[in-house]
Amino acid sequence: MIRRLFAEWLGTFFLLATVVGSGIMAERLAGGNVAIALLGNTIPTGAILVVLILVFGPISGAHFNPAVTLAFVIRREIGPGASVQYVAAQVFGGILGVFAAHIMFDNPIFDPSTTARTGIGQWVGEFVATFGLVATILGCLKSRPDAIPYAVGLYITAAYWFTSSTSFANPAVTIARGFSNTFAGIDPAHITAFVVIQLIAAIVATITFRWLLKDD
């Protein structure tokens, strides 16, 4: 269990270091072009997800996401006690990943975001993003488990662009990005709504795909 928790901690650390670090780098190099900055943030995020799932999947399942952990709790593939420990490791690892990115780019270590991300459009975007992510995992788990790393990386790459929220789709990522007043940040006051919607979307997706993929 200690190795599984460390894998979740380390994987989420690298995920957030990539999300925030690439966001800082992209914004600095984009010359004010937001589309280029978003693209520079998108590609590293999708790429690192493939790598992290390939590396840590055999150890912990490579959740890196409380919404994904919740889906597996509903499927009774992880117990409530273990899931709480997973979520704690994910959140803690994510926050430290943000701090590491800040240190690398000479930003203040503790720098809460002021970026507003709220409203119906953003909330619907998060529901769609999270539902789609859980659907991707469960659908591939049924037929092509070996394809999950690539499918998740590609889905998040796409969802950065087709969802209004740029696809956080992850409560641990959302909480951690509240600590970063950078391109990838979210105002801490707007975190709760995002997290609630992400968890609801994970529940709906899990129930939907349990029915959809059920063996007759």
> What does each of the 216 residues of the chain score in pLDDT, given as a tens digit?
999 999 999 999 999 999 999 999 999 999 999 999 999 999 999 999 999 999 999 999 999 999 999 999 999 999 999 999 999 999 999 999 999 999 999 999 999 999 999 999 999 999 999 999 999 999 999 989 999 999 999 999 999 999 999 999 999 999 999 999 999 999 999 999 999 999 999 999 999 999 999 886
Name the residue type at position 166. Answer: T
Provide the residue range defining the domain that includes 14.
2-212
Q: What is the pLDDT of residue 196?
A: 98
Domain count, the chain: 1
Q: Which pLDDT value is given to residue 60?
A: 97
d(CA 33, CA 71): 37
CATH number at residue 138: 1.20.1080.10
Task: Give residue 215's pLDDT.
Answer: 80
Residue with tokens 């430290």: 96
Q: Which amino acid is at 168?
A: F
CB burial of 13-27 (b: ≥16 within 10 Å; e: otherwise) equals bbbbbbbbbbbbbbb
Q: Is 111 helix (H, G, I), strand (E, B) or coil?
A: strand
- Spatial distance between the Cα atoms of 111 and 78, rounded to a whole number of angstroms: 35
Alpha helices in 30-119 (DSSP H): 34-60, 66-74, 80-104
Query: Dihedral angle at the C-alpha atoms of 117, 118, 123, 128, nearest 10 degrees?
Result: -20
Q: What is the DSSP letter of 180?
A: B
Q: Is 73 helix (H, G, I), strand (E, B) or coil?
A: helix
| Rounded CA separation 15/22 (Å) | 11
How confident is the model at residue 216, as a pLDDT?
64
